Structure 1
């Protein structure tokens, strides 16, 4: 589970603060199918005081120096039949894959009718290819929901391979299959402890989340403000010293190729099907269906004074050494599990040709990506593994030798 202590990380991307931060994203400008938020564009957000800028933000009393803010309108009564209350949804200009992501969040939206999320997603038309939910909850709940979704062929490893602090509640990651009653959709993980999100998180000054994504694992960590590792504070992250993560998902029965070319999203939705139908005694005014929730959100602007993000920083690091795909061959996966990975060559550093960030305008993707045409991906049958792993190791060794030879010649 642990990251080898010999691996070090270099900074590849710093999202910046304020206007520089906003430059990394496209502001969505539309109503939400399945929600009562109306996402506004950047000029409207600036003019309305929903983001850092010359106009006093609607939450100016909460402002603290050095953070990026994303507010929800808490001034206006809107018609319940309208497209919704003004809010922010940011979608990254770049696309992301493997790397070590550090999210320093000071304040997360909270309140009855509020559905905040910080997540990665890849989809083609209406088909979900990959999703990683780092921070997500509803209403005033203080427990985080960590969900992993993919297309077909991705399954959780057995529980004894997943040493993590959150509770595993779903083991089939395919997010496109019909939802079954009382069966979690996707590879869901619920935080049983309070304080990782919501009002308690805010009262404690927020904290740091980290996503460590490589060819063998997906691991999510949380550190409250009072317990942030020194190596993170010094911008020298070392996951091998962080202990047990909130979520540990080894790619024993799932291809890491799913998690390529993902969009990074930060949003504050309002109402929606999950929230409006949730049994939540603390928020009876939003329970009972979407029309009930919409009416409350429309007519109660003062309820959204805490519905804002305050983000201190987001940074992406890359390891100085490339890891190869090496799933546990002792694990028996369900029939149909995809257990191959497209070869990666070169060293994953922040210098030339980084593997984690690609231009949004680019249409390139791994030739064996689960998000592409389904033909070239090997499929695992129970009890047997593809020999592709041996081929991948050979490619990586050969690539390393070629790099060494070129270095010697230069």
Structure 2
């Protein structure tokens, strides 16, 4: 069937057009043409449902930045999980104290106790208020003497404020140093009496006098003034030695850094109870002090013992005031000031003496 359109009308109104079919022309009249909007229409989508937003923890909702953060966090967790057990194990591991067999290598005893020692002479290197006297003067003043059973080292008690000369520049005392020097070993000290009293700073220790602190220092017994808080056992070294690891001990740990340039050279040490030094120790008739020095000791997990401790002499001395006792003097409940008290009160030092039985040094076989 064919279609023939009539020309467009000039005015709006009813529209007529002719349609011709096989039976002849037919005229059809219609209303105005339909209106078509030119604005876009929002038609609902067929067969589509609105989707809810995905939760934050669903990886499908993550952007690249979120993925990067998650990956980095995961790597950090893995590192912590691996490193933490290693560090904990390191902190808790303990030196290998395999049993060693020892044989006696040296002994200091009897009437010849002092024969293997040199006497340090002069002012104290630690700024103590003393005059360390030579052997002849120590013998004359009765500051050192020995019997079959004991060796005595004491502070002078004869010089008073009216003496000529007096003790205004320091009191006479003694410091002895073993002629032999040691590397490693088992040291046994029979200590029957420890010095104590206001102004005193006694010590039984090991050091290389010519190479301090490079060759280290081992304080076996040390206290200050009234010494009511027990014995202090301490190490002093150059940099690179610390005790901030597990320690098996019955006493109280002190500073962990052994480096002499930290904490005013406090060193790293352990403090015993009141019965380990002073009047309580002496009332118990003294005791045997053992110190084993080996490369696995004290402990060496953060300290190379072999490189920090060498060529040690045994030293026993009684210092007065100085860097340690002087600094603690006021807080120790002592009268006046340290140097005035030491200079003017000779009778205050009747208990300021060491009494030793014998010293024994054993070497591993």
Question: Normalising by structure 1, what TM-score?
Answer: 0.60
1:267-290 per-residue CA deviation (whole Å, 9 max, x = no partner) reads 00011132223165653215xxxx
* Residues 267-286 of structure 1: pairs in structure 2 closer than 5 A: 267-278=317-328, 283-285=333-335
CA distance in 1 between partners of 2:209 and 2:304 (Å)? 16
1:198 and 2:278 matched: yes
CA contact (8 A) 2:225 2:329 kept: no
CA contact (8 A) 2:183 2:309 kept: yes
What are structure 1's unaligned runs of at least 5 residues? 54-63, 218-248, 287-291, 321-410
Counterpart position of 1:209: 289
> Closer, same or farther in 2 for the Cα pair 1:187/1:99, shift >3 Å?
same
Counterpart position of 1:154: 241
* Residues 9-408 of structure 1: pairs in structure 2 closer than 5 A: 9-18=102-111, 20-33=112-125, 34-52=127-145, 66-77=149-160, 82-122=168-208, 124=210, 127-142=213-228, 143-158=230-245, 161-175=246-260, 177-179=261-263, 185-191=266-272, 193-217=273-297, 249-257=298-306, 258-278=308-328, 283-285=333-335, 292-320=337-365
What are structure 2's unaligned runs of at least 5 residues? 1-94
CA distance in 1 between partners of 2:209 and 2:354 (Å)? 25
CA contact (8 A) 1:139 1:283 kept: no
Counterpart position of 2:71: none
Counterpart position of 1:57: none
> Closer, same or farther in 2 for the Cα pair 1:250/1:127, shift >3 Å?
closer
CA contact (8 A) 1:39 1:88 kept: yes
1:107-161 per-residue CA deviation (whole Å, 9 max, x = no partner) reads 1111111110000113556654301110000111131111111111112251xx3
> Closer, same or farther in 2 for the Cα pair 1:72/1:279, shift >3 Å?
closer
Question: Normalising by structure 2, what TM-score?
Answer: 0.67
CA contact (8 A) 2:186 2:291 kept: yes
SS at match of 2:145: coil
CA distance in 2 between partners of 1:298 and 1:279 (Å)? 15
Q: CA deviation at 1:17?
A: 2.3
1:351-403 per-residue CA deviation (whole Å, 9 max, x = no partner) reads xxxxxxxxxxxxxxxxxxxxxxxxxxxxxxxxxxxxxxxxxxxxxxxxxxxxx
CA contact (8 A) 2:202 2:319 kept: yes
SS at match of 1:318: strand
Counterpart position of 2:12: none
> Closer, same or farther in 2 for the Cα pair 1:39/1:14, shift >3 Å?
same
SS at match of 1:129: coil
RMSD of the TM alignment (CA)?
2.2
CA contact (8 A) 1:80 1:295 kept: no
